[in-house]
Structure 1
Amino acid sequence: MRLRADIWVSAYLRRCAHEGANAVLRRRGSPEAGAIFIKIDRLDGSAALFGPAPQSEVREGYDRLFARLHREAWISPAETEAKLSREIGFDPDLWAVETEDRLGRIFFDIAE
């Protein structure tokens, strides 16, 4: 059984606070099953955007897997905003979380 999106986001925000990273909920989506997108801003002109991993990447034992939504490791914050805006246009029920962390730490599971 998959964890509800609202519970997962709440836990992620608490984890970030515990680790000393600033994370805020920018957009509230569907509580039960909304897709979650996470922007990580390193505050040095570089950022990354993560979204749900493709179904082909999902592995047993993981509640949610994320994938980087661009080829480069880090892109400009403006590029992440443009990508996020396109996703919102496609799926208005998505969740958007923004994390500011100078170290660019990732506190969620990534599909390899």
Structure 2
Amino acid sequence: MRLTSEFWVAVLVRRINNSGAFAALEHKGAAEAGAIFIKFRNANGSYDLFGPAPQMVYDETKPNERLFTPLKADVAETEINADLEKQMRWDRDLWIVEIEDYRGDRSELFPVAQDG
């Protein structure tokens, strides 16, 4: 059984904040199944954007796992915000989580789909 978006985001934010990094909910979406997007602030002030990975990259043995895929990298926050505003025009139920963590590999914070 897949966790609801609301529960998954709450756990992510709590886990990241307890680790010494920072995460904040920027937009609350549909509790049950809203798509989740992650704004990641880099040490140099630029941002990366991650969104839900396409179904074809999921591991068949873990169909309920949430995976993210990079959508934009090393761009200004205004560019990320513009993309998210466009997304919200047709999907108001999405979630946006902003993360700041300069300590290493972000795949340790949330699951990123592997190229393959």
| TM-score for the superposition, normalised by structure 2 | 0.85
Match of 1:110 among 103, 109, 112: 112
Normalised TM-score (structure 1): 0.88
- Please tell me the residue identity of whatever aligns with 1:32: E
In structure 2, the residue matched to 1:69 is 71
> For the residues of structure 2 that align with 1:19 and 1:57, how far apart are their CA atoms?
28
In the other structure, the counterpart of 1:81 is 81
Question: Which of 36-45 and 101-110 deviates more?
Answer: 101-110
Deviations 1:34-67 (A, max 9, x none): 0001101125221111110011111132610000
Query: Deviations 1:64-101 (Å, cap 9, x if unpaired)?
Result: 0000112xx42222211111111111210001111122
Q: Tell me, in whole angstroms, the C-alpha distance in 2 between the residues paired with 1:32 and 1:2.
A: 10
Moved over 6 A (4+): none
Residue 58 of structure 1: aligned partner:
58
Matching of residues 91-110 of structure 1 within 5 Å: 91-103=91-103, 105-106=105-106, 107-110=109-112
Deviates more, 1:28-37 or 1:13-22: 13-22
CA RMSD, aligned part only?
1.6
- Percent of aligned pairs with the same amino acid: 44
Paired residues, number:
110
Instruction: Give SS of 2:74's match.
Output: coil
Structure 2, unaligned runs of 5 or more: none
